[in-house]
Amino acid sequence: MSETFTKSWRGWVKSSDGYAERMLGRTGVDYRDEHGHIRIDAEAMSSPWNEVVVYLRSLPDTPERPHAEVLDRLRRAFDFAGWQFALDCSE
C-alpha cells in the first residue's frame, strides 16, 4: 500500500506510515514517530516563500531513528504540504 498524507487544521502533516510533522513558526519542525518526539531546527525562508531549510546538526542520529530515514520522511511530508526542502549540513 502506498503512503498517504493528511493535514490537520493545527498544521500537522500526518503520514499513513505513522509519523507526523509540523512547522513551529519560522524556526523549527516538530517531528513525531513511534520513537517519540523531537524538535528539529529549521528556518522558513522569505524567498522563495515555501522553502524550508532544515539544519542537520540539530537532528539526533540514533540506531532506531537514523538521519537518512527522518530526512526522507521530512522530504515526503514537505512535498505533500507544498514546501521546498533544503538541507544545511554545516556545523
pLDDT in tens, 2-13: 999 999 999 999
pLDDT for residue 1 is more than 80? no
* Domain count across the chain: 1
**Model-level pTM greater than 0.85?**
yes
Q: Which domain holds residue 54?
A: 5-88
Best CA proximity match to 53, nearest among 82, 12, 89: 89
Instruction: Average the pLDDT over 74-89 and give the result.
Output: 94
The 10s digit of each residue's pLDDT in 12-53 is: 999 999 999 999 988 899 999 999 999 999 999 988 888 999
